[in-house]
Chain A
Amino acid sequence: GQNIDQPTEMTATEGAIVQINCTYQTSGFNGLFWYQQHAGEAPTFLSYNVLDGLEEKGRFSSFLSRSKGYSYLLLKELQMKDSASYLCAVSPSGGNKLTFGTGTQLKVEL
């Protein structure tokens, strides 16, 4: 089976840094994705990791450790508009089929 876990909720302060963790146990692994989703909207692509290490993209960075089945999304210089749900997703078998984690609702406060 597939099991992808994330914290349900997190709260952080504007301007700060927050790290959202994701652990996974899947039947296969062909990459890990992070998406941002505002309520009632489609997910927006943030990052993709297939090899171990850190991928940096502006204020967002994503890290992967395949041996540990672990990833995190790092958000720097938090802004109020970053308040959203963050979804970790794994491609277990290649192609474009994704299995999503439980999602983390991030609230950014003043």
Chain B
Amino acid sequence: GAVVSQHPSWVICKSGTSVKIECRSLDFQATTMFWYRQFPKQSLMLMATSNEGSKATYEQGVEKDKFLINHASLTLSTLTVTSAHPEDSSFYICSAGDSFSGNTIYFGEGSWLTVV
């Protein structure tokens, strides 16, 4: 079964609204989680590193005020896309690593966001 769970799997929202995506580690604690974005027929692009109890670290070119990340507990990170626009429509996916399982990195199921 999944060890990293994302919710929702898909969401449609209107332009200008905000959408929250959750990423949970189910069987382990994750002090860091990672958020990626993937456009159709493209690879995964790292957006930010979510750090438990502190600010997220954003990759170059990613607007921190638009993509709000909160990592309030060791098992939950949330990504909020604020004032969404159609160009934000994408597949968003999170990952986390279990320090007790070596180098295994687990990915969430992904969340499809469509902004209309």
* Interface positions of A (Cβ within 8 A of B): 31, 33, 40-43, 45, 48, 50, 87, 89, 95-103, 105
Contact = CB atoms under 8 A, between A and B. Distances in A.
Contact of A96 (B34, B42, B44, B109): B34
Closest 8 CB pairs of A and B: A96-B97, A103-B43, A42-B107, A100-B44, A100-B43, A96-B105, A42-B110, A102-B43
Nearest to B57: A97
A87 B103 contact: no
Interface of B: 32, 34, 36, 41-46, 49, 91, 93, 95-97, 103-105, 107-110, 112
A9 to B, nearest CB: 10
A87 B44 contact: yes
B43 A97 contact: no
